[in-house]
Amino acid sequence: MIELIPAIDIINGQCVRLTQGDYDAKTVYSTDPTEVAVGFERMGMKRLHVVDLDGAKSRHIVNTEVLRSITSHTNLKVDFGGGLKTDADIEEAFDSGASMVTVGSVAVTSPTLFAEWLSKYGPDRIILGADVRNGMVSINGWKEDSTAQLLPFLRYYVEQGVRNVLCTDISRDGMLGGPAMDLYSSVMREYPSLHLIASGGVSSNADIEELERRGIPAVVFGKAWYEGKIDISKLSLPWV
């Protein structure tokens, strides 16, 4: 059964969505992210993906007060990402109530540090973020493309013990054009034991149902929900 994970992206303490990671293409959906999180919990959601977009841009954790508010007002299992570059950032995220953290850029630029975090906190609390543009992993809030190709990048970290991967096709993020089905299917063929979280482009119930049929373990959705294109109650999934 596919795991449904709603997303809350934060800029200046507000719940927003970007288009293809463009900070100039921002839509504000709520000035109260905690209220949005409470709403997701009331719908029956168990997990939440929170992205500190200010942190991703500034390269250090920023929106901890929002994280603290969400985790103190809900029982949601929150995974938190955006700007986590140092031991202090990771500790602050966990101290603020995050159950897991998503780390992408450090895995590219400082693999030794990422491996230390993986060993220290365990593979159930560290999610490898793999944001992809034209087959290459992007870093620092999608502002820079690295020289790391996706599948070799994943292979290296699977061998290091990574179990959870959040993979976002940047070209589809916020476009409501459908997920990169073939990309996610190719990852699962290579690494069938991964808990792969598909992200980017989800536009309808049909998209989520197709990911389920393809055996993708989990999906993050944001803009499609905020714009009323997903109806959780009508999803033809076993647990709904």
* Helix or strand (DSSP H, E) at 164: strand 164-169
* Helix or strand (DSSP H, E) at 165: strand 164-169
The alpha carbon of 150 is separated from its chain's Cα centroid by a whole number of angstroms, namely 16
Say which of 54, 131, 173, 207 is annotated catalytic: 131
> Is 131 in the active site?
yes
Say which of 9, 52, 89, 207 is annotated catalytic: 9
Name the residues annotated as catalytic: 9, 131
